């Protein structure tokens, strides 16, 4: 077991800064996901931890040992790539191969192969040619080859991307079970927020080479630190409404042109923290109540579009020039062009500084 610490790390490719002054610590036995869109620096970070690439500035530590100068073999890492590779040999031979290179005793090799095969449910496939297996089974073989070395750190570079939706779900469960059993220090790179939210003890959200927020899945969802995280996390994504911060009788309210939101007890905090009057209000679709009947503090709108996604519906409500999405579970009797009333649940919305993108509340 080992903890991984990245200190003030920067990686450049020509004039492009792929990773910019990254500080990140993965605790002993923790499962951490690095999440972000393509080109955000997540895979570059993983490759530098592995020793396949090297940061131009900064350092990497395994426990308190600086490993910048060590090769991947010397760092004792296990790595599984997006495009899994199995050798044209049996599953048993695939699993044994990393140990045979180390010239371990045959008894030790057999013991480890049997153990990892049981963990990954490959015992009945040991004598099958690995190239004949299905995608999920091949991925388990690749994972087994990485784990059988008993690495200090397990690095997973989008290992589920090439599986179909059903197999991805099954493999997520496999990975969760595996980690609970082995408690290996794991860094998992993905662009899929569902994978990250499901698997990660903590998630490092990156964009354009910069770490945006490093936190638990719960805090990323309910307490985003900036506009990017709020927008990137969640499906359907958060509603963002351009507002002007105004004052009246010592209190503040958000003027969205077509409706106004009284900030009540939040007035003083928002007035003190906002860099200007231009702000964005963010609220998740599930934190909005929609009704056919008018209620206090509700806004009147017209249904513009309905997305039916099985057990839930996303209702697009038009208020003036604004489109606000509302999440409704189960069947819905709402119809296009119907007049409806929506109400924001208090203490669930966020206010972002439009200039900086930082959260105010």
Q: What is the pLDDT of residue 36?
A: 98
pLDDT computed for residue 4 by the predictor? 98
At 346 the pLDDT is 80
Q: How confident is the model at residue 54 (pLDDT cuts 50, 70, 90)?
A: very high
Whether 89 contacts 43, CB under 8 Å: no
User: How would residue 82 be classed by pLDDT, with cut points 50, 70 and 90?
Assistant: confident
Q: pLDDT digit string (tens) for 92-115?
A: 999 999 999 999 999 999 999 999
pLDDT at 1 over 80: no
Mean pLDDT of 47-58: 98
Q: Please tell me the distance from the alpha carbon of residue 220 to that of residue 226, in angstroms, as a whole number.
A: 10
pLDDT of 338 > 80? The answer is: yes
- The predicted structure's pLDDT at residue 337: 97
What mean pLDDT value characterizes the chain? 94
What is the arithmetic mean of pLDDT over 339-344?
96
Mean pLDDT of 58-83: 94
Q: Please tell me the predicted confidence (pLDDT) of residue 24.
A: 98
CB contact set of 219 (below 8 Å; sequence gap of 6+)? none
pLDDT band at 347 (very low <50, low <70, confident <90, very high): confident
pLDDT digits (tens, 9 = 90+) for 154-172: 999 999 888 888 888 988 9
Kindly tell me if the per-residue pLDDT of 318 is higher than 90. yes
Q: How many whole angstroms from its chain centre is CA 20?
A: 19
- Flag whether pLDDT at 251 surpasses 80: no
Kindly list the structural domains of the chain, giving each domain's residue range(s) and its CATH number in brackets, ordered by start. Answer: 4-232 (3.40.50.300), 242-353 (2.40.50.140)
Angle at 45 between CA 43 and CA 49, to 5 degrees: 115
Summarize the confidence of residues 66-86 as an average pLDDT.
Answer: 92
pLDDT at 291: 96
Q: Is 254 in contact with 312 (CB distance < 8 Å)?
A: no
Say if residue 117's pLDDT is above 80. yes
pTM value is 0.93
pLDDT given at position 331 = 87
Share of the chain above pLDDT 90, in %: 81
Predicted pLDDT of residue 167: 82
């Amino acid at each position: 077991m080992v903890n991984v610490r990245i200190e003030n790390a920067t990686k450049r490719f020509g004039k492009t800064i792929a990773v910019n002054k990254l500080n990140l610590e993965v605790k002993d036995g923790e499962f951490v996901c690095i999440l972000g869109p393509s080109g955000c620096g997540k895979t570059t970070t993983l490759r530098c931890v592995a020793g396949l690439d090297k940061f131009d500035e900064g350092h990497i530590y395994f426990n308190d040992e600086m490993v910048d100068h060590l090769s991947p073999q010397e760092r004792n890492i296990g790595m599984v790539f997006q495009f899994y590779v199995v050798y044209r040999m049996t599953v048993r031979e695939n699993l044994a191969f990393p140990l045979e290179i180390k010239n371990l005793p045959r008894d030790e090799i057999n013991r480890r192969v049997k153990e990892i095969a049981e963990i990954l449910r490959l015992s009945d496939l040991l004598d099958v040619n690995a190239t004949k297996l299905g995608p999920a089974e091949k991925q388990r073989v690749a994972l087994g080859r990485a784990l059988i070395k008993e690495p200090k750190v397990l690095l997973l570079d989008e290992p589920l991307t090439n599986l179909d939706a059903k197999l991805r779900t099954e493999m997520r469960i496999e990975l969760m079970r595996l980690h609970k059993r082995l408690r290996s220090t794991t860094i998992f790179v993905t662009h899929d927020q569902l994978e990250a939210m499901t698997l990660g003890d903590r998630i490092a959200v990156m964009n354009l080479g910069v770490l945006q927020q490093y936190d638990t899945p719960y805090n990323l969802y309910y307490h985003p630190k900036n506009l990017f995280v709020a927008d990137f996390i969640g499906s359907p994504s958060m509603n963002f409404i351009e507002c002007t911060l105004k004052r009246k009788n010592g209190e503040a309210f958000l003027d969205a042109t077509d409706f106004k939101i009284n900030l009540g007890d939040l007035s003083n905090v928002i007035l003190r923290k906002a860099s200007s009057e231009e702000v964005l209000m963010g609220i998740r679709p599930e934190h909005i109540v929609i009704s056919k009947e008018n209620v206090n503090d509700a806004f009147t709108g017209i249904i513009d579009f309905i997305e039916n996604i099985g057990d839930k519906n996303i209702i697009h409500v038009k208020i003036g020039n604004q489109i606000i999405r509302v999440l409704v579970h189960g069947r819905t009797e709402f119809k296009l062009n119907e007049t409806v009333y929506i109400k924001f649940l208090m203490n669930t919305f966020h206010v972002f500084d439009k200039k900086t993108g930082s959260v105010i509340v």
